Amino acid sequence: MQEAFTALLLLLGGGLMLIAAIGALRLPDLLTRMHATTKAGALGASLTIAAVAVHFADVEITARALVIIVFIVLTAPVAAHLIGRAGYFVGVPLCDGTVKDELRDRYDPESHVLDSGLTEDSKRRR
């Protein structure tokens, strides 16, 4: 039973990482690619590491696997956010189908200043 569960976790993890790779190749712009690779890639890697923990069934390995999974779940979205934001600031074009661009009115590409909307001046402008 343990081997079957390990195999299932490995297949699911590998499938999700395959979906992440296809998303990175097929999606139209940086932000949608980042979304696909972050969500599916992090979950796929986590399932693969969980399979390792189930296969070895050792307390030390399971504890390390859990720490690695927590690290991936906490850092992958933050890293994707920072990379996507840096791409936006350097002028990577958005997809033609992009409906909403919340930073368009708040970011000045010449001075590289991003208005957070928390200052009194920005509140008066709205």
Please determine, for residue 121, whether its predicted confidence score (pLDDT) is greater than 60: no
Location of structure tokens 């949608």: 32
Q: What is the pLDDT of residue 114?
A: 80
Distance separating alpha carbons of residues 31 and 87, to the nearest angstrom: 9
Average pLDDT over residues 38-50: 95
Of all helices (H) and strands (E), which one includes residue 6? helix 2-26
Please determine, for residue 91, whether its predicted confidence score (pLDDT) is greater than 90: no
Residue type for position 102: E
The whole-model pTM stands at: 0.78
